[in-house]
Structure 1
Amino acid sequence: MKISQVSVIDISGLIKKSGDLTIPSQIGQACRECGFFYIVGHGVDEKLQQRLEQLSRQFFAQDLETKLKIRMASGGKAWRGYFPVGGELTSGKPDLKEGIYFGAQLGEDHPLVQAGTPMHGSNLFPDNIPLFCETVLEYMEAMTQLGHTLMAGIALSLGLEESYFADRYTSDPLTLFRIFNYPASNDRDRWGVGEHTDYGVLTILKQDDSGGLQVKSKSGWIAAPPIPNSFVCNIGDMLDRMTGGLYRSTPHRVLNVSGGDRLSFPFFFDPNFDVEVKPIELDHVVVDDQLQRWDQASVHDFRGTYGDYVLSKVSKVFPELRRSVL
C-alpha cells in the first residue's frame, strides 16, 4: 500500500470567510483528481471529538444484549439505532463492522415525521451512558455547520456563487451520522466494508488512529491514513451527477488489520430529501463511468428526488428493514 496521495487542505480561511480563493481552488483540484481530501484548520472542538470517541468505545465494549436495547428495528421509519456485526451489507456481502445510525433529531410534531417520511424522526440513545446523547447531537451540529461551509467552498471551486448549493439543495440538508466499530481481525479477505461510493454530496469522516481506509485512485488502491485533528472528506454520487462526472464519487473500502478495534465516524451532508437533483450547467462533457463503477449503475441516468435515490440504496444495505421503511 502506497503512502497517501490524498491532498491535505487548510480550510481556516474558509471558516473565517477571508475570501482566499486558493482554498476553493485546492478543493476543486482534489475533487477532480481524487474525489477525496483531508481538511485541517476546521475549528471543530478537539475535546468534543475526544469525548465522542471515548463514549463510543464505552458503548461498543458492552455485551450484545445491552447494545441491542437500541436496535434499528426499534427505530422504525426513522432508520436509527444499533446493528450488530454482519447486520449491514455492501454489494450483498455482510460487512465486518457494527454501528449506530443517527440523523437530525426531529420530534413527533415535525411535519415530515407526521407525514411518515422515511429516514426522519428521533434518535435512539443508550440510557446507561451519561452525555452520549448530548455529545452526539453537539457533534452533529458542528458537522452540519462545517458541511455548509465546505459546500460553499465547493460552489466557489466550480465558479458558482457561494450560496449555490444552499439555495437549491441543502437549505434543509439530510444529515446522517454513523458511528462504526470494526472489530479486530486477522482475515485479510474479510472487508470491514467493501468497495462502495457514498450517496449524497459530501461525507466528512473522523477516523481513529487505527488506519485501514483505502481509496481507489487512477494508479490503484491507496491508503488514507489518520492525520491528527483532521477530517477526511469525499464527494458522493449526487455531486458526481450534478457536475456531470467532473467531480467523481470515488470508491473506497476499509480493511482493519490494526490488531485492535477501529472506530470510524462518517457524517453525511446530503441534499434535502424531497429535492430533485439536476445537473449544473457547466462547460464540459458528461463523463459516463457506468462500466467502471463498482455497481455498474450510472448516476447520470438517475431521475428523481434525493429521497428516491437514497432509499433505493439503503434498502439494499438493510434488506430486512426495507418493508418498515418503504
Structure 2
Amino acid sequence: MTETAVLPVLDITPLAHGSFAERKAVAEQLDRACADAGFLYITGAQFDPAVFARALARAKAYFAQDEAAKMASYIGGSLNHSGYVPVGEEQFANATPDLKEAFDINCDYLPTDGRRPLLGPNLWPAMPGFREDVLAYYEHVTGIGRQIFGAFALALGLDEDFFDAHTQHPPSQLRLIHYPHDPAAHDRPGIGSHTDYECFTLLHATTAGLQIVDRDGEWLDVPLLPNSLIMNIGDMMEIMSNGRYVATRHRVKKVAQERYSFALFHACDYDHVVAPVVRGEVPRYAPLKSGEHLFNQTAQTFRYLKERVARGELVLNDAVPLDSFGRNVEAARA
C-alpha cells in the first residue's frame, strides 16, 4: 500500500482476480487503513470507466432540467425513499440546510413478508436512458462492494463469505449529488458534518470539496486521486468491528464550483441485527437493527419525514442521535 499526503491508497484488484493469499494481503492492508484513518482511496482493475462516464452524463442532464420537471419525481412521493431531493430538503441536527440537490436510488425489492420503509419500487424520472445507466452504475459498484465485504470478513478474522448471507437484499442506497455553482459558498456547507449510517461508503466525485475530521479534531481537505474511489467507514462497521474501525465525521465545504458526486452506501439486509463480530472481545456496542437504524437516521434528516414524525404519522423505534458514532469532534472547527 502506498500513501498520499492525506489518505492511504489501496489497490483492490486481487479481490477480483487474485489467490486467497493475495486477497488476504489486501484484507490486512484494508484493516490497517480503516483502523488508522477510517478513510482511504480505492483503486482497482475492476473499475469500468465507461459505466462511471455514462452515469455522470445522465446526472448532468437530469439536474439541468427545471425544478418542476425534477420535482415530478420528488422523494416524498416514493414508497422506498427514492427520487429527487431538492436543495434545502436535508438538514443535519441544528446545522444549516445542505446546499445541494440529489437523486436517490434505493433497494428496488419487494419483501414477501411485509413492507419495509426503505425497500420497494424506485421512483424513476421519465428521462430516456436514465434508469438504465444509473442502475448499471448501482450494480457495478455494488459488485465491487461485495468484494470489499469479503475483505472485511477476512480482516475481522471471519470466513471470507461471512457477509454473503447478510447482504441478499440490503437497503444500500446510491445518491447522485449535484452541488450547484455558488460563488458565496465559502461560508455555507454543501453537506453538514456527519457520519455515514451503513457499513462503508464508496464515493466518486468530479471535484474536491470533501473534508474529514482528523485525530486532532481538525478539518482536513481530501484531494481527488485519478481513477479511484474514496471509501469510508460507517456506523455499522464501527459496531461490527467493536470499535477497531471508527466512523469518521466528514462534510462537503466551500463548494464554489459545480460539483457532482456519487455515493453508494453499502449496508446489510434490513432485518439483520448488527452487533460486534470480533471473536474473543467483550462487546462495546449494543446491537441494533440494520434497516431500522438507517430509516431512523434518515427520518431525523429529511424534511418530509420529519414532518410526518411531527404529525404522528411516523414513530421512530429505538432511534439514536445523529452524532452517536465517530470520533469526538468538539474541537473541530466549524
Q: Where on the TM-score scale, by shorter chain, does this alignment land: which range?
A: 0.7 to 0.9
What is the alpha-carbon distance in structure 1 between the residues aligned to residue 117 and residue 45 of structure 2? 32
Partner residue in 1 for 2:14? 13
Partner residue in 1 for 2:111? 111
State the shift of 1:30 in Å: 0.7
Matched, 1:126 2:108: no
Matched, 1:212 2:188: no
Partner residue in 2 for 1:228? 226
What is the percentage of aligned positions where both structures have the same residue?
A: 33
Alignment of 1:195-210 (within 5 A): 195-208=193-206, 210=207
Indicate if the aligned counterparts of 1:35 and 1:234 stay in contact, CA closer than 8 A.
yes
Stretches of 4+ moved more than 3 A in 1? 281-287
Structure 1: which amino acid aligns with 2:178?
N
State the shift of 1:111 in Å: 3.0
What is the alpha-carbon distance in structure 1 between the residues aligned to residue 208 and residue 136 of structure 2? 25
Indicate if the aligned counterparts of 1:200 and 1:238 stay in contact, CA closer than 8 A.
yes
What is the alpha-carbon distance in structure 2 between the residues aligned to residue 59 and residue 161 of structure 1? 42
Deviations 1:60-114 (A, max 9, x none): 1111111111111221x311110211111112331111111111223xxx335x7
User: Structure 1 residues 262 and 256, CA, compared in 2 at 3 Å: closer, same or farther?
Assistant: farther
Structure 2 residue runs without a partner (length 5+): 316-334
Partner residue in 2 for 1:96? 99
What is the alpha-carbon distance in structure 1 between the residues aligned to residue 150 and residue 55 of structure 2? 27
Deviations 1:140-162 (A, max 9, x none): 11111111100101111122211
Indicate if the aligned counterparts of 1:92 and 1:316 stay in contact, CA closer than 8 A.
no
Partner residue in 1 for 2:83? 81
Partner residue in 1 for 2:239? 241
Indicate if the aligned counterparts of 1:97 and 1:180 stay in contact, CA closer than 8 A.
yes
- Specify the SS of the correspondent of 1:99: strand
State the shift of 1:42 in Å: 4.6
- Specify the SS of the correspondent of 1:193: strand
Matched, 1:176 2:173: yes
Indicate if the aligned counterparts of 1:246 and 1:286 stay in contact, CA closer than 8 A.
no
Q: How many residues align?
A: 302
State the shift of 1:171 in Å: 3.1
Structure 1 residue runs without a partner (length 5+): 288-299
Partner residue in 2 for 1:316? 300
What is the alpha-carbon distance in structure 2 between the residues aligned to residue 134 and residue 142 of structure 1? 12
What is the alpha-carbon distance in structure 1 between the residues aligned to residue 56 and residue 48 of structure 2? 13
Deviations 1:247-273 (A, max 9, x none): 11111110143x421111000110100
Structure 1: which amino acid aligns with 2:38?
G
State the shift of 1:191 in Å: 0.6
Indicate if the aligned counterparts of 1:4 and 1:224 stay in contact, CA closer than 8 A.
no
Matched, 1:279 2:276: yes
- Specify the SS of the correspondent of 1:307: helix
Structure 2: which amino acid aligns with 1:122?
P
Partner residue in 1 for 2:321? none
